[in-house]
């Protein structure tokens, strides 16, 4: 069994996918747009928006969509965690993800890791970056 996070970007999914591809090397495995949906009852204003995407970040799968496209994205109560092998790799990912976002805890040495930091990216998704022990 796997647990896969499904992120709804309310109209900014394609922008987010492009950002994650550059920031952390995300690989887009599946990308379906609303216009690809054969159901004629599909009532979405912009049929070019992302209905469903499947991306690979490291060994994990993250699912994403534009959802209803209302522009009211809120990611609360969770964070995605990236485990790096080295401090340099962790710093690189943290810096890339924090571009346009909000740092919550800068990368630093902690009692539990050589490097650890927390941020919310420019889409509001929470991230924790840690160096594996």
Domains, the chain: 6-65 (3.30.720.100), 80-131 (3.30.720.110)
pTM value is 0.92
Q: Rounded to whole angstroms, how far apart are CA atoms 13 and 123? A: 9
> Averaged over 43-66, what is the pLDDT?
92
55 in helix, strand or coil?
strand
Q: Rounded to whole angstroms, how far apart are CA atoms 55 and 1? A: 18
What pLDDT is recorded for position 47?
A: 86
Q: Indicate the range of 17-21, 39-43, 72-76, 111-115 predicted with least confidence.
A: 39-43
Q: Which residues pair with 61 in a beta bridge?
A: 56
What pLDDT is recorded for position 41?
A: 75
13 in helix, strand or coil?
helix
**Residue 51 above 80 pLDDT?**
yes
Rounded percentage of the chain residues whose pLDDT exceeds 70: 98
* 95 pLDDT tier (thresholds 50, 70, 90): very high
Rounded percentage of the chain residues whose pLDDT exceeds 90: 80
What pLDDT is recorded for position 65?
A: 96
**Residue 85 above 90 pLDDT?**
yes
Widest distance between CA atoms in the chain: 56
**Residue 37 above 90 pLDDT?**
no
Burial 95-109 (b: 16+ CB within 10 A, else e): ebbbeebeeeeebee
- In this structure, what are the phi and psi dihedrals at residue 13, rounded to the nearest 5 degrees? -65, -50
**Residue 7 above 90 pLDDT?**
yes
């Amino acid at each position: 069994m796997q647990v896969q996070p499904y992120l709804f970007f309310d109209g900014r999914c394609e922008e987010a996918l492009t950002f994650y591809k550059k920031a952390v090397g995300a690989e887009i495995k599946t990308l379906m747009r609303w216009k690809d949906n054969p159901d004629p009852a599909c009532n979405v204003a912009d049929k070019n928006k992302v209905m469903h995407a499947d991306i690979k970040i490291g060994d994990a799968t993250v699912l994403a969509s534009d959802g209803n496209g209302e522009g009211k994205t809120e990611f609360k109560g969770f964070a995605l965690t990236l485990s790096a092998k080295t401090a340099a790799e962790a710093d690189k990912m943290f810096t890339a993800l924090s571009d346009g976002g909000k740092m919550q805890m800068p990368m630093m040495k902690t009692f539990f890791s050589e490097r650890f930091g927390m941020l919310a990216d420019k889409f509001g998704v929470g991230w924790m970056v840690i160096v594996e022990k």
